[in-house]
Structure 1
Amino acid sequence: MSGSSSAPIVVVGSANQDYLVRVPAVPTAGETTLAHTMRRSPGGKGANQAVAAARLGAEVRFVGCVGDDDDGALLLRELRAEGVTTTDVEIIGREPTGIALVLVDDSGENSIVVVPGANFALSESRVRRVLGRQPEGAVVVTQGEVRSEIVAATAQGAHDAGVRLVLNLAPYVPLPDEVLAPCDPLVVNESEAAALTGREVSATSEALETARDLLGRCRSVVITLGARGAVWADETGSGHVAAPAVADIVDTTGAGDAFTGALAVRLAAGATLPEAVELGVRAGSFAVTGSGAQTSYPRDTDLEAAHRR
C-alpha cells in the first residue's frame, strides 16, 4: 500500500487549528451547554487530507496559507512531522491562522464552524505556479474550504499540467460546470450531492443513480455514505463499496478527509477508481474509532491489522 513507487500528490487547501469541544449534545438556539472537555488539534480539510495520504506512504506536498502566529507555526511543525512537504505554504502577516470550532456530542457526531483567516489569502498565481511544475501522473487534491476562485484555479492548473484532479466539494459551494468537468473524481457526501443535483440522496440506490447522472458533468464521481461506505461511477461502470462494521464510534471529525486522502494514494499508485474507493472506505472507517482528525488517521500497519481482525 506504500506510496514509495507512486506519483506525487499535491494538496491545495486549508489548514486550521481545531478546537475540539466534547458536549453531551449540541446546543439548540438559545441553549447553553456545559462541555465535558476541550482540546486543540491540527486540522483543516486540506491539511487533513495531506496527512491522511502521507501516513499511507505517499509523497505529499501541501499548498496553502497560515498566519504568522503560534497556531500557524504549530500547524507547519505538525505537517512536517507527518512527512508533508510545506515549502509551498505561505505565512501571512495580515491574517490569523484559520480555526475550526468542533462540537462533538456523545454519539460521536459533530457540528463545525470554520473561521477561514489566512486560508482565504491563498492566491491563484501561487496555485498555478506550483501545479505548473508537477510531473506527469501527479494527483492534485482540493476542497471547498478555500475560496471558489482557488478551486477554479486548481482545476485549470491541473488541466493545463495534464494531471489528475480530485475535488472534494466539502463544504458545498456552487461551482460552474467548467470547474467540475476535469474532476476525476468529484467526491461529495449525500448532502453535498443533493445540493449539486437539487434532489434528495439518502438510499444507496439513489446515491448510485445520482453518481451516474453526475458523470455528465465530470469525469468520475464518488458519493460517500458514512457507515454504508461509498458509491462510485466512471466510464467503466458504477458500484457500491460497503464499509466494515465499526463497534465503537468515538468521533466522526475528519473521517471524510481520511477517505479522500487514502483514495488519492491509491489513484497515485495507478489503481482503478473502485480500488481507490475501497481503501478510502477502510481509512474513513478506521478514523472514526479515534478522537480528532489527523490524530485518528491510519498508517498501513493499522489498516492491515484491522483487516486481519
Structure 2
Amino acid sequence: MKRLYVVGSSNTDMVVRTDRFPVPGETIMGGDFYMFPGGKGANQAVAATRAGGNVHFICSLGDDLFGKNAINGYIKEGIDVSRVQVILGKASGVALITVNNEGENEIVVAPGTNAELSGNHLENMLKEDWEDSLVLTQLETPIETLIHLSKICKEKKWPLILNPAPAQELPKVILDGLFLITPNETEAKLLTGITVRDEPSAMVAASSLMDSGVKNVIITMGSKGAFFKNAEESFFTSAQKVKVVDTTAAGDVFNGVLAVGLTEGLSWKNSIIMATKAAGISVAKMGAQDSVPYKEEFT
C-alpha cells in the first residue's frame, strides 16, 4: 500500500453546545462542555488511519499536557509519529468551538506550536525517496511551510492534496501543478471569486482553479454532495441524508478517507463516494476525532 504523509495541525478542541451563537458583545449560557483531540491535520490523519491507510503524521507539538496526550492518542490509533516535532517550553494548539442546535459551528484557533512547523523540519523528515507516496495537507500551518512542502512534492513527484481550510488566498506557486485541491463552497469563492450554489456554478469554479494550474478539483458542498473535475471528466456525487449533530471535522474525514481511496488505487468516483459516506457518518456524532468512523462503517 502507498504511504500517506499527512502534514498539518494538531489541536485540542474545547467545545460548548449552545441554543444559538451569541452576537458581538453578548454573553449567553451554554450547555454541555466537551474536550476532544482535534486539529485539521490530526483529524485527517486519524480518518485516514481508521480507513485503513498507512499514515505518517508530520506536525509540531509542545511538551505540555495537550501535546503529550496527542502523541499518545496517535500511537493508539496506529499512526506513525516518528516525524512529529516536539518543541520544549511551547504551548500546543487549541481550538475553541461553539456548536448550536442545528449542528453548525463557530471555531477560533490558537495555533501554538502549529505555527512552528517549518520548511526545514519538513526537509529533514522527508529525505527518503519512498516511491509510492501521497501527501495531504491543510492551512492551519504557516503558508511558507506549505510553499516548501509543495516544492518538495514536485521534486519527488509525490501527488499533493491540499484541503484549503481555513479559507485564505493562495500564491500561484502552490496552485501551479497541484495534484488536487478540495475547497468547500466558501473556500472556492475566496479562491475564484465565483459563488458556488449548484453543479453548474461548481463547474465554473473548478474550471477557474484548473486555469490556475490545478490538475484535479473536488468542491465539497455539504449536504448536497461533491463536484469533481479534471481534464478527462467531471461529475457530481450526492450526499446521503443524515441527522446533523455536529459538522466539526466532516471535511477532514472526507479528505482523509478520500486520500486513502486514492492510495488504494480506487477510481475518483469510488474514492469520493466512500469519502462522502464517511463524512456523513461523522456529522451524526459530537466531536472531531471522536466522530471519525472506521472503514467497516462506510465500505
Q: Deviations over 1:133-178 (max 9, x none)?
A: 1412211011011100111111111111111100000012222112
Unaligned runs of 5+ in 2: none
Partner of 2:95: 100
Q: How does 1:26-41 map to 2 (within 5 A)?
A: 26-41=21-36
What is the rounded CA distance, in whole Å, between the counterparts of 1:275 and 1:211 in structure 2?
Answer: 19
- Of residues 132, 151, 155, the one that matches 1:137 is 132
Following superposition, the deviation at residue 102 of structure 1 comes to 0.7
Q: Partner letter of residue 171 of structure 1?
A: P
The question of whether the paired residues in 2 share the 8 Å contact of 1:12 and 1:142 is answered with: yes
The answer to which of 106-115 and 182-191 deviates more is 182-191
Runs of 4+ in structure 1 deviating by more than 2 angstroms, as ranges, are 128-132, 271-275
SS at match of 2:211: coil
Query: TM-score normalized by structure 2?
Result: 0.97
Residue 303 of structure 1: CA displacement? 1.2
Q: Rate the CA distance shift 1:134–1:103 in 2: closer, same or farther, 3 A.
A: farther
1:10 CA displacement: 0.2
Matches within 5 A, 1:31-110: 31-110=26-105
Match of 1:209 in 2: 204
CA distance in 2 between partners of 1:237 and 1:157 (Å): 28
In the other structure, the counterpart of 2:285 is: 290
CA distance in 1, matches of 2:267, 2:147: 25
User: Once structures 1 and 2 are overlaid, which stretch shifts more, 157-166 or 47-56?
Assistant: 157-166
Paired AA for residue 301 in structure 1: E
Contact 2:57 2:81 survives alignment (8 Å): yes
Tell whether the 8 Å contact from 1:224 to 1:231 is kept in structure 2 after alignment: yes
Contact 1:212 1:238 in 2 (8 A): no
Residue correspondence of structure 1 range 159-170 to structure 2 within 5 A: 159-170=154-165
- 8 Å CA contact 1:148–1:173 kept in 2: the answer is no
| 1:1-309 to 2 correspondences below 5 Å | 6-217=1-212, 218-246=214-242, 248-304=243-299
Q: 2:64–2:90: 8 Å Cα contact kept in structure 1?
A: no
- TM-score scaled to structure 1, two decimals? 0.94
State the shift of 1:111 in Å: 0.5
**Contact between 2:218 and 2:229, CA under 8 Å: does it hold in 1?**
yes
SS in 1 for 2:179: strand
Asked if 1 retains the 8 angstrom alpha-carbon contact of 2:251 and 2:279, the reply is yes
Partner amino acid for 2:180? P
Deviations 1:199-235 (A, max 9, x none): 2122232112211231122111111000011001112
Whole-angstrom CA distance in 2 between matches of 1:298 and 1:74 = 21
Letter in 2 for 1:13: G
Q: 1:273 to 1:132 in 2, by over 3 A?
A: farther
Alpha-carbon separation, structure 2, partners of 1:65 and 1:255:
23
Total equivalences in the alignment? 298
Residues 134 and 39 (structure 1 numbering): CA distance in 2 closer, same or farther, change over 3 Å? farther
- Tell me, in whole angstroms, the C-alpha distance in 2 between the residues paired with 1:91 and 1:239: 42
Output the CA distance in 1 between the equivalents of 2:98 and 2:65. Answer: 23
Quote the sequence identity (%): 36
Superposed CA deviations along residues 96-116 of structure 1, whole A, max 9, x for unmatched, are: 000000100011000000000
Unaligned 5+ segments in structure 1 are 1-5, 305-309
Which range moves more in the overlay, 134-143 or 124-133? 124-133
Task: Tell which deviates more after alignment, 25-34 or 211-220.
Answer: 211-220
Cα distance in 2 for residues equivalent to 1:126 and 1:120: 12
Q: Kindly provide the amino acid, as one letter, of the partner of residue 198 in structure 1.
A: G
